[in-house]
Structure 1
Amino acid sequence: MIRNLRELYQYRGLLLSLTQRELKARYRNSVLGFLWTFLNPTLQMVVYSLLFTVYMRQKIESYTYFVFVGLLPWIWFSTSLLAGASSISDRRDLLTKVRFPAQVLPATIIATNLINYLLSLPLMVLLGVFQGRYPTWHIVAFPVVLLTQLCVTMALVYLVSALNVTFRDLQQIIGNLLTMWFFVTPVFYMANTIPPEFHTLLVLGNPMAVMTTSYQAIFYEHRLPDPGPLALWMAISLVLLWVATNIFERRREEFAEFV
């Protein structure tokens, strides 16, 4: 894991260049261009807010803001995992070059979606201000939650990107799993509405539930997130990242052959 992080730092210029290229290519030739960074999560928020305030009414104050707080980190996670699965298998043009650092490719996907997430945060804050929920000093905990989610995302993306090289069905499986994962993550309902007998499995056992409730605590409930679940998943994510990077390293020599 240390070697992988050291090499990412060593090739930070390449990582930055590929991230910039990915950001430019994402909305190339579209009329609205980079505005889709804000419009995509906004449109999703509007749809889910209409669904759960008109058709399946939720008795949650400032519900639109509540949904937005949980939806943005989920979009970062899900798009990184889905696109990251094919980040190696789709880049034969780069992998066949001499000594190209393959670990940069999954990192590029994660960094691109992280930037989109961070750029969407001002829009979330403005929505909160419009609904009377101003940021408080509890945002000091935000970097801790962000770092924890980054470690979880990196671990899973490195793992699935390495496995997808030889098992191409994995990307389709992940797409379906993410749909189910989304609905068991408390994005448009509060975690305390989950029956107690399922709380351990669906909240503590779900890293994105821990991330979502932590962001909700900071921005919506104006309190510090529960330290126990965050510390637990930070420890688990470091172990997962160590396992994932080891698997990635062992399979790296085979990438050019299989892609």
Structure 2
Amino acid sequence: MLPGRSLRRPSDEVINMDVSTNPSVPHVEFFPPPHKPRGPSRWIGWVTDDHRQLVRFWPVVQNMVVQDLRVRYQRSMLGFFWTLLHPILMMTTLTIVFSQLLVIKREDYAIYLFAGMVPWNFFSGTVNDSAFSIIHNEALIRKIFLPKLIFPLTRLLINLTTFVLSMVALFILMKPLGVRFTPQLLLLPVAIALLSGFTLGLGLIVATTNTFFRDCGHLVSVILQAWYFMTPIIYESTNLPPWRLWANPAYPFIKLFQVILSEGKWPDPSLFLAAAGIATVSLGIGYVAFKCHEDKFVFRL
């Protein structure tokens, strides 16, 4: 032992852990988490962030759409031609059956049926697929970061591609069936955009609900089947009272396609306003419901 040094055990040393006097320990102040904005500012933040994320991950969305369509028609001799052939075969079958059973005397019944059936198939197919869009991508959600909004959006784009190709099949049939091309066909992109907004809104609602309550996905198909027969697609709207027509949210959208394609007339402005209003409400409610529960999805998978 050196002179002037006293032997001290480590236990006798006093270690100063006071963060206010010990310069080696950083001074940390504990405050409640910052207040999250509410109201319109919060929604604007959601929309801005989602727009930025969708632009960033847009190649992922494109790849998912292409891969799904490629797998769907893999090892098929006709491939994508089924998107043209399937609606034609369905229209032919339904025209023969319902024109005989319902004794419909309408000359352009085939086009009338096609004009309502193809938009409805797009609508019901997207809503059905969206119900399971989060659950079926559980492994991907747990593995890497992806905006969860892209999964319902991908299902919409896949069915929208099929929908557009089916409309091509309709244009091919219009001339042989004696239907002339009219300037009103220029309104089809507007009708498709309104129907897409309405469909995406409902898709976001069922995707959110089915993630928390798995029975919802099975109920959706039953509800859509009943909804199909409540909508004037295989029969004319003149057979129903007006209040039953306007109580059906899908009616303005289906009617738009029927007026443009089958009747060749300019739709009434009130029809456009009704479709735009319903699409806006559906998309707004669906988006807010989805975003409010988005962070909880991973705990429910």
TM-score by length of 1: 0.92
Q: Does residue 33 of the first structure (1) align with residue 79 of the second (2)?
A: yes
CA deviations on 1:78-114 (whole Å, 9 max, x unpaired) are: 1001111100011112111332111001000000110
Equivalence for 2:134 = 88
Whichever structure has more helix as a proportion of its residues is 1
Q: Does residue 228 of the first structure (1) align with residue 270 of the second (2)?
A: yes
SS in 2 for 1:96: helix
Displacement of 1:170 after TM fit? 0.8
Q: Pick from 56, 66, 75 the counterpart of residue 112 of structure 2.
A: 66
Displacement of 1:247 after TM fit? 1.5
CA deviations on 1:7-44 (whole Å, 9 max, x unpaired) are: 33442222111111111122223343222212332232
Q: Pick from 237, 243, 261 the counterpart of residue 200 of structure 1.
A: 243
Aligned-residue sequence identity (percent) comes to 27
Q: Is the 8 A contact 2:253 2:275 kept in 1?
A: no
Distance 1:241 1:177 in 2: 19
Letter in 1 for 2:271: P
Q: Is the 8 A contact 2:148 2:294 kept in 1?
A: yes
Q: Pick from 190, 199, 204 the counterpart of residue 144 of structure 1.
A: 190
User: 1:221 and 1:108, CA in 2 relative to 1: closer, same or farther beyond 3 A?
Assistant: same
Equivalence for 1:97 = 143
Structure 2 portions without partners, runs of 5+: 1-42
Deviates more, 1:228-237 or 1:163-172: 228-237
Displacement of 1:130 after TM fit? 0.7
Q: Does residue 191 of the first structure (1) align with residue 237 of the second (2)?
A: yes
CA deviations on 1:143-174 (whole Å, 9 max, x unpaired) are: 22111101100100011001111111111111
Q: Is the 8 A contact 2:252 2:274 kept in 1?
A: no
Letter in 2 for 1:252: E
Q: Is the 8 A contact 2:84 2:168 kept in 1?
A: no
Displacement of 1:66 after TM fit? 1.5
Q: Is the 8 A contact 1:125 1:134 kept in 2?
A: no
Equivalence for 2:285 = 243
Distance 2:296 2:101 in 1: 51
Displacement of 1:239 after TM fit? 2.5
Equivalence for 2:32 = none
Q: Does residue 107 of the first structure (1) align with residue 149 of the second (2)?
A: no
Please tell me the root mean square deviation across aligned C-alpha atoms, in Å: 1.7
Displacement of 1:127 after TM fit? 1.3
SS in 2 for 1:224: coil
Distance 2:177 2:51 in 1: 41
Equivalence for 1:255 = 297
Distance 2:75 2:208 in 1: 31
Displacement of 1:72 after TM fit? 0.7
Equivalence for 1:16 = 62
Letter in 2 for 1:190: E
Q: Is the 8 A contact 1:215 1:225 kept in 2?
A: no
Displacement of 1:69 after TM fit? 1.3
Distance 2:285 2:53 in 1: 17
Deviates more, 1:17-26 or 1:39-48: 39-48
Higher relative contact order (CA 8 A, sep 6+): 1
Q: Does residue 209 of the first structure (1) align with residue 255 of the second (2)?
A: no
Q: Does residue 179 of the first structure (1) align with residue 222 of the second (2)?
A: no
Deviates more, 1:117-126 or 1:235-244: 235-244
Deviates more, 1:40-49 or 1:112-121: 40-49
Deviates more, 1:101-110 or 1:36-45: 36-45
Task: Please say which structure displays the higher CA radius of gyration.
Answer: 2
